Amino acid sequence: MALAGILGTGAAVPEKVLTNQDLEKLVDTSDEWITTRTGIKERRLAAPHETTSMLSVQAARKALDMAGIKPKDLDLIICSTISPDMPLPATAAFIQRDLGAPPCCAFDLAAACSGFLFGVTVADQFITTGKVKYALVIGAELLSRYVDYQDRATCVLFGDGVAAGVLGPASPPSGILGEEMHTEGAYSDHLYIPAGGTVKPTSRETVEAREHYIKMRGNELFKVAVRSMEEVSRRVLKKAGVSAEELDLFIPHQANQRITDAVQERLGVSPDKVYSNISRIGNTSSASIPICLDECVRSGRVKKGDLILMSAFGAGVTWGAVLMRW
């Protein structure tokens, strides 16, 4: 069976920069605390008129251009987001419309920070079974709309950004070599938004209690993150018969530089093979891995034939990994 691969990438990050110094004026924090605990110096913030679908279309156009594919060729659009344009309909519907793609299978996927890898894995199944030729997978987050800028534990972490990948039949030896997806709902209280769903519909009380914003148990999440990313990475590598030393590039979800360092060390990947942009971009949830990949591809950091491992964890808790040859 022919392998599927990522044929093009594109990213769209808002222009406005929110620095640690800006945050010092909003909450009781410091550049020193944020830098040493997370590695983040700045993150991007969407302008009021920018929406998840708007940035998604910008990123998608760049990815389609790189892949040499037209919107009319798309059979599948997956938008991974936990910060949709609206609760209903799916943001993927706006993307399909505004991209000028024909009516096709287009849906949102909610796996938080693991979402882009879940999307790539789903698209891979459709392409390798011949059901679909070209798929667009987008990691799209405007988390600033869901972050409480009175909560110093979370507002320093998250930023806005979108990135896309166009998938299709790969030219050997390129292609997706292995992948895994997992969810463990027992940890669902580690990162969640209490109100706005059926458990607690939005009301004056929920808004006054700020329950429409992200709540996080950072310490607990940290431990799950390191363990799950290490384990899933090891399993995907083992199944493909690839050792950590053979990797040309490791792109972990950009949640915290300390998490990245811990996973890199446990896996035994050489530090110069690990990509990080967290100091500039912060944690953009499902957009973090594709933004990194796009930066690597466009800067020439990734070359044809390189072995790339991408690994993520996110709210749910979800975790997953994808191994591919570029």
Q: Hey, which residues are catalytic here?
A: 113, 253, 283
- Closest CB to ligand ACO among 27 and 242? 27
- Is the four-CA dihedral 124, 191, 144, 211 of positive or negative sign? positive
- Work out whether 117 is an interface residue with ligand ACO (CB under 6 A): no
By CB under 6 A, the residues from 255 to 284 that bind ligand ACO are 255-256, 283
Of 169, 194, 196, 218, the one binding ligand ACO (CB under 6 A) is 218
What Å distances lie between residue 176 and 167, 181, 245, 250, 282, CA to CA?
10, 14, 19, 14, 27
CA distance 29 to 121: 39
- Closest CB to ligand ACO among 29 and 128? 29
- Work out whether 156 is an interface residue with ligand ACO (CB under 6 A): yes
Of 61, 133, 145, 152, the one binding ligand ACO (CB under 6 A) is 152
Burial of 1 (0-12, 13-18, 19+ CB in 10 A): exposed
Strand order in 105-109's β-sheet? Answer: 4-12, 160-169, 135-142, 76-80, 105-109
Of 53, 285, 319, 326, the one binding ligand ACO (CB under 6 A) is 285
Taking a C-beta distance cutoff of 8 angstroms, is the pair 187, 216 a contact?
no
Q: Is the peptide bond before 120 cis (omega within 30 degrees of 0)?
A: no
Measured N-to-C along each axis, helices 288-299 and 115-128 cross at an angle, to the nearest 10 degrees, of: 70
- Closest CB to ligand ACO among 5 and 39? 39
List residues bridging with 75 in a β-sheet: none
- Closest CB to ligand ACO among 61 and 258? 258
Q: Looking at 160-168, 221-229, 243-251, 300-308, which segment touches ligand ACO (CB under 6 A)?
A: 221-229
Q: Looking at 59-67, 83-91, 151-159, 178-186, which segment touches ligand ACO (CB under 6 A)?
A: 151-159
What is the binding site for ligand ACO (CB under 6 A)?
29, 33-34, 37-38, 112-113, 152-153, 156-157, 191, 216, 218-219, 221-222, 225, 255-256, 283, 285, 314-315
